[in-house]
Amino acid sequence: MGYIFNILLAVNQCYSLSKKPNILLIVADDLGWADVPWHDHTIYAPRIKELAETGVILNRSYVQQVCTPSRAALLTGMYPYHLGRQHRALKPLRAGGIPTGFKLLPEMLKESGYSTHMIGKWHLGFCAWEYTPTRRGFDSFYGTYLGVLDHFSHVRDKYDGYDFHRNEELLFSAKGKYSTELYTNEALSVISSRQNNSSKDPFFLYLPYQALHAPMQVPRRYADMVSKTVTNPARKVYLAMLAAVDESIGKIVDALKASNEYDNTLIIFTTDNGGSVSHLASNHPLRGTKGTLWEGGTRGVAFFAFPITS
């Protein structure tokens, strides 16, 4: 995923400060290769499809096989073995993260005049404050440090406790609310707050959704959006989680348009790794699944949409 990092830096360098584009970087968690409308026309994700068709679909986008290595590569531009993050995803009580001697993308963009915001799943360490988002270049953070959290209670298990934060404070008001919808509402708030910002500095919004990662949970209403041809209940839940992400992205795009920010916003969408076949994702026709080095685990869905005007 280091190529995305390098492209973002190149975009940053190609514009004068007054013309720098906003950057919206969206990461879907465990999205399968076949689970997007341009690979399977029965998939319901119209807003994602619309965005992809306005830009460039990347058919040879390679990612790491699991969460933490991919996110480390995305935010540093380096192969994970340079960072000591080439192994599995970080466990809750394991010390570590991205070593603090490495500068992350939000730190570099801040140096170029960007405001920087993170909304979603971090999963890059929290053993000391120095490893957490607001100490690594983000002006604001709203979300979780861990992975594999209940999407409503925001608890991993009884030993790990509650995990939902605003900046460096626990945010208990999130309890009982669906993570995808929480992240969307916060993104809308960030965009809305810019209308009262006279300086209008360009923004970098990093939006790594928790969906479509286990546990497989979604509000019932999204299941009605899934094709009636899907009869497997577990597959239907998975695709309903995608429908929730799709609706959320549509709301964010609409907000950008309403605030006259859309025409100067570069939108990048990617999965962090291949789909988890055990949770009914599909990587067809690729071999393998999340956690493997086959293309089913490492060839990821991605696109750029850039309606940037001169």
Q: Residue 255, CB half-sphere, CA atoms under 13 Å: how many? A: 19
Helix (H, G, I), strand (E, B) or coil at 299: strand
Which residue, among 152, 149, 143, has the nearest Cα to 171 in the 3D structure?
143
pLDDT confidence of residue 210: 97
- Active-site choice (39, 41, 67, 165): 67
What length does the chain have? 310
Domain 2-10+22-305 has CATH 3.40.720.10: yes
Three-point CA angle 119, 73, 305, nearest 5°: 60
- Tokens 């086959």 correspond to 294
- Put the strands of the sheet holding 165-166 in their side by side order: 56-57, 302-305, 265-271, 22-28, 203-208, 115-121, 140-144, 165-166, 169-170
Q: Cα separations (Å) of 157 from 139, 146, 175, 209?
A: 29, 11, 14, 20
- Which of 39, 41, 87, 123 is flagged as catalytic? 123
pLDDT at 56 over 80: yes
pLDDT reading at 310 higher than 50 = no
**pLDDT at position 144, please?**
97
CA separation for the pair 11, 22 (Å, rounded): 10
Return the percentage of the chain with pLDDT > 70, whole number.
Answer: 93
pTM: predicted TM-score of the whole model, two decimal places: 0.94
In the three-class reduction of DSSP (H, G, I as helix; E, B as strand; rest coil), residue 156 is classed as: coil
| Reported confidence tier of residue 198, pLDDT bands at 50, 70, 90 | low
Q: Is 213 a catalytic residue?
A: no
Annotation marks residue 127 as catalytic = no
Tell me the backbone φ, ψ of residue 102, rounded to 5 degrees: -100, 130
User: Does the pLDDT value for residue 166 go beyond 90?
Assistant: yes
Which amino acid is located at 245 in the chain?
A: V
Q: 90 pLDDT exceeds 90?
A: no
Q: What is the pLDDT of residue 307?
A: 78
DSSP code for 213: S
Q: Residue 103, Cα to own-chain centre: how many angstroms?
A: 20
pLDDT tens sequence across 260-305:
999 999 999 999 999 999 999 999 999 999 999 999 999 999 999 9
Mean pLDDT of the chain: 92
pLDDT reading at 16 higher than 70: no
Cβ 274 vs Cβ 286: under 8 Å: yes
Q: How confident is the model over 22-45, as pLDDT tens digits?
A: 999 999 999 999 999 999 999 999
